[in-house]
Structure 1
């Protein structure tokens, strides 16, 4: 019994030392000032803050976003000659090949790829199609088509984009880096289902599983997956599921939005995950238990999800 308790006390210390060792090992191969970092979706939100932090520690940073004006702003904010900006859509094959060619020319390769781009979807699926539950009406052809178009936009932003990025940059990483790493910023909604987030969660889940499979197919690359819960910022701005009819939409803002994760904290944890080769990171960490609890007691988790998103079932 005494030995067992000793082991339980020492185990957290061993875990911390292991993380420190992995961080030191990568930095002994690639110094912070030599690291070449590509950030897809760096023009706003978490990706933007990650760009700031990598630039601050001296890395070479490539900022990629769809809007030229925002990309230019982020490059200026980084305040370093080692930062370059490229206006491109990571779901566009030609754009990603153009980014790859420029990085081969400018840096002779890359060491770290951060996939931070994506889109949101914020409504129950039938509401997206214009179905008014109070009237118990069927979806019209136009409503169904609108839902399909919204889903295609979500798939492009949350699955096709990450897939194109993986195909484009994995060979370059393997060929040009002594310690290649890929970070995918996913969502807690990718592993714990929630009402009003059906379209968003399912598409984020698809890219998460894709990258988890890629991690097995390419063991020479260290993959990290960050799964944050509600994060501060204008998440709703990228919503692809705006209503197709004039029905009054209910408010599905998370009840815990006032205590949302800080962007700076999430960005810092993302960089730490790459440094330490952490595989799956839940934010907050207690949500790892929530993921397990869904399989043990799904009705409890479903009830809490309904409360969080102010959702009332028909």
Structure 2
């Protein structure tokens, strides 16, 4: 397991799903963690059953720079500083361009792209003068297109190229910036889409060479690796956790509801 015992980490979107699983993994690897999300954060903190001095919780919105700066202040008070950030906050909508409203498109871009940028900005401003890292949650849909996902594909493509740009910009001060790009992961968001008939789990599994969706633990493990000293020379990288989805040519299942 990666050694994260010196790491103080801000994790956005940490109430449930991927963000919460990533927090659990980082705590198991010895990190101290700040959970950040729009609600239910104290409940999320208690669910981790971690020592009180290893985890704090902050309620806020990734679209609000003041909320993120408040989180870094809480971390400084509790842990003495911040070393890294995982940007797990994100939303999706599955709808054709004709029915996706401009307001829905803007919301996806605001949370997935602007929220990611603001999260990294706040974290970097609070990091030491030399060193630090950011792991951005991307998607296989950041590397290709799919029907009914124009906003989501656009947002995750932007996140991937944001990481490349920030890796180049922040490299001279020792800050590494990478992306973990999963395929479908069984999270509360995906379960909701499946229940509404908007996500074709069988189709995703059928076109994935490994024949299944990813687990939250597998995505969390990739994030832990990129945060660790073992990835000390890795920056500007898109790390797929996709069971071979991208390698398979991004072929879509016949049912467009993926």
| Corresponding residue of 1:280 | 238
Q: 1:273 to 1:167 in 2, by over 3 A?
A: closer
C-alpha distance in 1 between matches for 2:70 and 2:214 = 34
User: Size of the alignment, in residue pairs?
Assistant: 241
| Corresponding residue of 2:38 | 66
C-alpha distance in 1 between matches for 2:127 and 2:59 = 21
| Corresponding residue of 2:147 | 195
Q: Deviations over 1:95-149 (max 9, x none)?
A: 1121122222222311121111011111111133xxxxxxxxxxxxxxxxxx111
Contact preservation (8 Å) 1:40, 1:65 = yes
| Corresponding residue of 2:218 | 265
Of 116, 138, 142, which residue of structure 1 is paired with 2:88?
Answer: 116
Report SS of the residue matched to 1:305: coil
Report SS of the residue matched to 1:182: strand
**In the alignment, does 2:119 pair up with 1:165?**
yes
Report SS of the residue matched to 1:266: helix
Q: 1:154 to 1:165 in 2, by over 3 A?
A: same
Please list, as runs of the form range in 1=range in 2, the aligned pairs for 1:5-44 lying within 5 A after superposition.
Answer: 32-44=4-16
C-alpha distance in 1 between matches for 2:182 and 2:220 = 11
Report SS of the residue matched to 1:37: strand
Contact preservation (8 Å) 1:184, 1:225 = yes
Report SS of the residue matched to 1:38: strand
Of 195, 200, 204, which residue of structure 1 is paired with 2:156?
Answer: 204
RMSD, aligned CA: 2.5
| Corresponding residue of 2:170 | 218
C-alpha distance in 2 between matches for 1:192 and 1:56 = 34
TM-score, normalised on structure 2?
0.84
Q: Deviations over 1:18-51 (max 9, x none)?
A: xx9xx7xxx5xxxx33311111111111110111
Of 138, 148, 166, which residue of structure 2 is paired with 1:186?
Answer: 138
Of 167, 179, 187, which residue of structure 2 is paired with 1:233?
Answer: 187
C-alpha distance in 2 between matches for 1:162 and 1:238 = 23
**In the alignment, does 2:37 pair up with 1:90?**
no
Q: 1:285 to 1:238 in 2, by over 3 A?
A: closer
**In the alignment, does 2:76 pair up with 1:104?**
yes
Ranges in structure 2 where 5+ consecutive residues have no aligned partner: 206-211
Q: 1:102 to 1:56 in 2, by over 3 A?
A: same
C-alpha distance in 1 between matches for 2:103 and 2:64 = 18
| Corresponding residue of 1:16 | none
Contact preservation (8 Å) 2:10, 2:86 = yes
User: What displacement does 1:154 show?
Assistant: 0.6
Ranges in structure 1 where 5+ consecutive residues have no aligned partner: 1-19, 129-146, 240-248, 294-300
C-alpha distance in 2 between matches for 1:39 and 1:189 = 22
Contact preservation (8 Å) 1:66, 1:87 = yes
Say which one has the larger Rg.
1
C-alpha distance in 2 between matches for 1:289 and 1:57 = 30
User: What displacement does 1:285 show?
Assistant: 5.1
Contact preservation (8 Å) 1:115, 1:183 = yes
